[in-house]
Structure 1
Amino acid sequence: MDLLRWLFDAQIPVGGSVLILREVLGNIFGLASAFGGMRRKVWAWPVGILGNLLLLTVFLGNVFGSATPATLWGQAGRQVIFIAVAAYGWRRWQQGRTAGGGSTAVVPQWAGNRTRLLLAGAMVAGTMALTPLFGALGSYPPVWADAWTFVGSLLATYGMARGWTEFWLTWVAVDIVGVPLLFSAGYYASAFMYLFYGFFTLAGFFVWWNACRRAAQAAGRDEDRHAAVETAFPDPRVKL
């Protein structure tokens, strides 16, 4: 209990203000999870869940006696959603690694134009639907920004679980809105970390893009080899 109390009370002095230790640790776990996701490692999911649990206590503000009184219901709620979707992604990637027999758990793929349109529509519609709800709950303004980061984070995490390369760009869209919101609300550790995430997610997008290209090239070579074998050794059951 003493360790838990220390974790909840610990702060890091920075200039004339303080950073919440739970916020710093939660974002470090989040960064480690993003790095694992870039490398397509299953351990990215449980590490991310640990970070979500820590950040949940942070963004609930006064509920847990946070040094920063602003309560961001969207930021807090998305930690809960993260945990649920991460459990799905953890299971899906574990199955993929078992089936593939390799160290990576998923083969990146493009979502396709139809799915992209659905994701964009869900982003806008979800933000419009949740903004009044978060406003009624007393979320920090501008409330639409809190709703945007919530919906975008959910879609990005789901896209990562499915192995869609576009999920990295969804994170970029989240960071563009989320960073200014976090700075204005006084969550400086998270704001700086999300600012770094913006560059990191762009790098992750190009890493997965290259992986998609290599997978397509490998599939093309396999098809060529199969065609060559069929030509050299035709099926004897087929009558000429």
Structure 2
Amino acid sequence: MSVIEWLFSATFHIGDQQLLWREVIGNVFGLASALGGMRRKVWAWPVGIVGNLLLFTVFMGSYFGGSPLPDMLGQAGRQVMFIAVSVYGWVQWRATKRQNLEVRADGTVPADDGAAVHPRWASGRARAGLVVAMVGGTLALTPLFRALGSYEPVWADAWIFMGSLLATYGMAKGWVEFWLVWVAVDVVGVPLLFSAGYWASAAMYVFYGAFTLVGFFVWWRIHRREQSETAVPTTSA
């Protein structure tokens, strides 16, 4: 049996629950990507893409390995979206890292050691846009996902899809708030995935919830430190 054949057929049991190894492996790649994102590493994007490809096959199980679990179109669709937005983020972070590693005129390199992104707060307009896109996108996608036969409650699947899109875009832009969007996704995603029988993904979402809160404060502190380092001291006349 080849590695690919094993990956698509291998399962294990926890109690009376049968889990797919590729669901676990895909989520591990996702966690590694989140860790890389918190540390502002460019490799977070390609690692995440590998996890997205694996999880796409999990949530479209009727087409990949004959899984008895229901197909979840929103979850599968968001993996495709992740890949597209991750390519954008990958390009953006690589460009920032190259710029930050450029040798200065005096022969030194920046003290940030080539950070791939500089966290910042989104503008008030961008925040309002996130809220409008989250609610409006969920309302717009719910009837579409329902017509395509997505798992109930369909609005939750649509919410997770939109939140994932906005959070990934926010990460690419370097907005500190993107971590909080992930929290909103996790709050809805955990009960939805448990109810559908995707135990490994649901358990990982629980962990993600705590991890994203940590990531939020890490990026917040980085932003405050960089702001203080670039502040111009004032002198009295």
Q: Which residue of 2 aligns with 1:237?
A: none
* CA gap 1:64/1:116 in 2 versus in 1, 3 angstroms: same
CA positional deviation for 1:62? 1.1
2:30 equivalent to 1:42: no
Deviates more, 1:98-107 or 1:151-160: 98-107
Q: Which residue of 1 aligns with 2:73?
A: 73
Classify the secondary structure of the residue corresponding to 1:13. strand
> TM-score scaled to structure 2, two decimals?
0.92
Distance 2:66 2:35 in 1: 28
Query: Unaligned regions of 5+ residues in structure 1, if any?
Result: 232-240
CA positional deviation for 1:66? 4.4
Distance 2:84 2:39 in 1: 22
Q: Which residue of 1 aligns with 2:199?
A: 188
The Cα offsets for residues 21-73 of structure 1, whole Å up to 9 and x where unpaired, read as: 11000000000000000000000000000000000000012121343421110
Q: Which residue of 2 aligns with 1:238?
A: none
| 1:12/1:21 contact within 8 Å kept | yes
2:212 equivalent to 1:212: no
Count of equivalent residues: 225
> TM-score scaled to structure 1, two decimals?
0.91
Q: Which residue of 2 aligns with 1:121?
A: 132
| 1:41/1:103 contact within 8 Å kept | no
The Cα offsets for residues 91-129 of structure 1, whole Å up to 9 and x where unpaired, read as: 100000000113420110000211111100000000000
Of structures 1 and 2, the larger Rg is shown by 1
Distance 1:152 1:59 in 2: 18
CA positional deviation for 1:13? 1.4
CA positional deviation for 1:208? 0.3
Query: Unaligned regions of 5+ residues in structure 2, if any?
Result: 102-112
2:188 equivalent to 1:177: yes
Q: Which residue of 2 aligns with 1:89?
A: 89
CA positional deviation for 1:177? 0.3
Q: Which residue of 2 aligns with 1:32?
A: 32
Distance 1:105 1:207 in 2: 15
Identity %: 63
CA positional deviation for 1:197? 0.1
| 2:179/2:216 contact within 8 Å kept | yes
Distance 1:176 1:186 in 2: 17
Amino acid at match of 2:40: R
Distance 1:197 1:68 in 2: 26
Q: Which residue of 2 aligns with 1:6?
A: 6
* CA gap 1:66/1:166 in 2 versus in 1, 3 angstroms: farther
* Shift >3 Å, 4+ stretches: none
Q: Which residue of 2 aligns with 1:149?
A: 160
